[in-house]
Structure 1
Amino acid sequence: MTCQAAGLGPVTVAYEQQGAGEPLVLLHGVGHHRQAWDAVVPLLADHRHTIAMDLPGFGESPDLDPTVPRDLRTAVAWLSAVLAELGVERPHVVGHSLGGLIALHLGQAGLARSVTALAPAGFWTDAERRHAYAMLAAARHSVRLLPDTAMVRLAHTAAARTALAGTFFGLPDRGPHETLIADLRALRDATAFSATLRAGRAPCLYSGDIPDVPVTIVWGTCDRVLPPRQAARVQAMIPGARLIQLPDCGHVPMNDAPDLVTRVILEATPSAPEEQ
């Protein structure tokens, strides 16, 4: 789908819609793709109309023009145009990592009915950001060095799965091999990866409360990329936010515990009273 976004020109987005009910937008993290939600979408489909999309320069969505600023204001403008083109007004928004940070900004902009942020990026200290970036960069460097055939072969061995996926998953042996392979290819091929990390060095990626929108913050207790202590900083800034911890889950809890993540999302995205 291609739409016009103010100040950005034509924007093309790859997305998938499934299910019925209130609209629920799913946003992935840096180096990931819309298939990050594949394990939970079928569980949500009987209750919500899910819209999973690839952010610019990730998955199958082309990157933005190099002259367009790579900042959160641009992300909000991009998503606002996409939602308008889809005819979706104030959906529930669920985001992971980078997508969680964007979801919080959509809530501030009045574009979300509710916000559920899984390990949202941007609530780090300088040392924590450098740690996260080092882990992400090392993972990307590793998969870019591997020929595709070798990556596929290694993804089918327990030791390699732990080495390749242990950074992101609390339970790297869980989930289909095909999911891990697709995730590694998405990380390898993400054209916006480096530009997004550069933009993330900005000194203040989020500030202010979201008083009129229900906010749920979700964090895996075994997150090695963004340590769960960062959740306290989100709560300090958004005092009304509900915090949920996911035992034994890593940075990508959708893979570790899809049933649990689905329950959390459904509880955090209640139907409007008139539609109950």
Structure 2
Amino acid sequence: MPDVPPVPSTDPAPVPAWPGEQVATDGGTVFLRRTPWTGTEGGRRARALYVHGLGGASTNWTDLAALLAHRVEGYALDLPGFGRSAPPPHGSYSVVGHVRAVEAVLADVAARPGPGHGEPVHLLGNSLGGLVSLLVAVRRPDLVASLTLISPAMPVYRVPPAFDRAIALLLVPGVPALAEKRLRLGAPEDRVRATLEMCFGDPGRVPPARLAEAVEEMRVRDGQAWSGRALTRSMRGLMTSYLRVGRANAWRAARGVRVPALVVWGDRDKLVDPRLAPRLAAALPDARLQVQPGIGHVAMMEAPEETARAVLDLLDEVGGGEPDGAGAAHGTDRPDTSSVGHAAGGGPGGA
């Protein structure tokens, strides 16, 4: 199989964010972007759902979705309260609440007419979205064809030093409201650069066009009355979920995943310890592991080509999908990535 050609880091015209629509879920609605399938007649066509991390958005998947579009019709949601999605109707940002939202969207994607109708969907999640996707795969194996986890926010009991105090404060009643106000301090450009420093192994790889998109996304969030609340309360919900024991614990849940899985981790991840990667791969009954040197917390944004290769290998193993296209639109079984930028628009997800 031919290698995916490298992506120029100064690409002047990165792929724009995919369009989307509001879909019903758990009494409310979420925004769902769609990446059209680009294959040609004769190959296989399946569906995929992408789930972003804490503080991220569906736009975090723009580039990876483009690279996989010859193989899957892609869907990426904004979790409740993030991106273009309104806050959850009951005001809860628990992990269980996000799981229910993803389950509803997954069922919606599987039920849509056309090739792939009624078939399980390939589920990909990053950070918080990775943890949520894992729990969804355990709860609804009938809807999941494969599971890809990119630096998932698995429970840890020793957090990064920079987060020690912040996480402790978030668990104190009343403090999250103060944190919501502090999140808006400083210029959007400065806050975006600080986020990139935390989430990327090498922030210098972000093209100027993607940086501009992220800043604009930050400005949009600043105009949403609920954006700070969604971030702080989702973080609090994540930390609370780490205290669960027994069947509700995510490490125990991982052993119950019954679909083929892929674990992707950057060895410069500052938010979730890369040493968890082999542990998670060992816990999953049928897993493959890709550790990316020099890459941080959001491999699908910082290294979309390498991530796409690993995902495509998994999809080739899993098979499935209705015959409808013969590989990439360019006549190979790997995508042409020459016009795909390094980092998707919108803020990258945190933990």
> Under TM normalisation by the shorter chain, which class is it?
0.7 to 0.9
Alignment match, 1:123: 155
Which residue does 1:17 correspond to in 2?
Answer: 34
Question: Which protein shows a greater Rg?
Answer: 2
Cα distance change, pair 226–134 in 1 and its aligned pair in 2 (3 A) = farther
How far 1:200 sits from its partner (Å)?
Answer: 1.2
Counterpart code for 1:63 = P
Q: 1:67: Cα distance to partner?
A: 4.8
Partner of 2:235: 197
> 1:254: how far off?
2.0
SS at match of 1:245: strand
1:179 corresponds to: 210
Give 1:56 shift.
Answer: 0.6
User: Aligned match of 1:93 in 111, 123, 137?
Assistant: 123
2:84 alignment partner, one of 32, 45, 60 = 60
1:253 maps to 2:299: yes
TM-aligned CA distance change 1:235 to 1:216, over 3 Å: same
Moved more, 198-207 or 126-135: 126-135
Task: Quote the RMSD (CA, aligned, Å).
Answer: 3.0
**Whole-Å separation in 2 of the counterparts to 1:199 and 1:17:** 28
Structure 1 Cα separation of the partners of residues 65 and 164 of structure 2 = 27
Residue 260 (structure 2) pairs with residue 238 (structure 1): no
**Separation in structure 1 between the aligned mates of residue 320 and residue 73 of structure 2, nearest angstrom:** 14
Q: How many residues align?
A: 260
Q: Distance in 2 between matches of 1:170 and 1:84?
A: 35
CA distance in 2, matches of 1:166, 1:224: 9
8 A contact 1:28–1:98 mirrored in 2: yes
5 Å matches for 1:82-231? 82-86=105-109, 87=111, 89=118, 90-109=120-139, 110=141, 111-128=143-160, 131=163, 134=166, 144-148=184-188, 151=189, 161=193, 163-183=194-214, 185=218, 189=227, 191-201=229-239, 202=241, 203-204=243-244, 205-206=249-250, 207-208=252-253, 209-231=255-277
In structure 2, the partner of 1:47 is 71
| Residue pair 1:114, 1:215 contacting (<8 A) in 2 also | yes
Unaligned regions of 5+ residues in structure 1, if any? none
Cα 1:200–1:18 change in 2 (3 A) is same
Instruction: Give the 3 Å change call, closer, same or farther, for CA 127–169 of structure 1 in structure 2.
Output: closer
Moved more, 86-95 or 243-252: 86-95
Displacement after TM superposition at 1:258 (Å) = 1.3
Matching residue's letter, 1:180: L
Structure 1: which amino acid aligns with 2:126? H
Q: Is the 8 A contact 1:27 1:54 kept in 2?
A: yes
What is the distance in 1 between the residues matched to 2:322 and 2:62? 30
C-alpha change, 1:260 and 1:239, in structure 2 (3 Å) is: same
Retained in 2: the 8 A contact 1:2–1:13?
yes
Please report how far the alpha carbon of residue 257 of structure 1 lies from its aligned counterpart in structure 2 after TM superposition: 1.1
Render the CA deviation track for 1:91-146: whole Å, top value 9, x for unaligned. Answer: 000100011111111211213111000000023224349738849x9x99886222
Measure, in 2, the Cα distance between the counterparts of 1:183 and 1:99.
Answer: 19
- Do 1:165 and 1:180's aligned partners in 2 also have CA atoms closer than 8 Å? no
Distance in 1, Cα, partners of 2:292 & 2:310: 10
CA shift, 1:64, in A, is 0.4
User: What TM-score, normalized by structure 1, do the two folds share?
Assistant: 0.82
Identity %: 29
State the alpha-carbon separation in 2 of the partners of residues 198 and 174 from structure 1. 31
Q: Distance in 1 between matches of 2:64 and 2:164?
A: 25
Deviation at 1:192, TM superposition (A): 1.0
Give the conservation status (yes or no) of the 8 Å contact 1:171–1:248: yes
Is contact 1:123-1:233 (8 Å) kept?
A: no
Q: Aligned equivalents of 1:133 and 1:35: distance in 2?
A: 30
Which residue is 2:345 aligned to? none
Give ranges in structure 2 of 5+ residues lacking alignment. 1-21, 38-44, 113-117, 171-178, 327-351
Q: Confirm or deny that 1:272 pairs with 2:315.
A: no
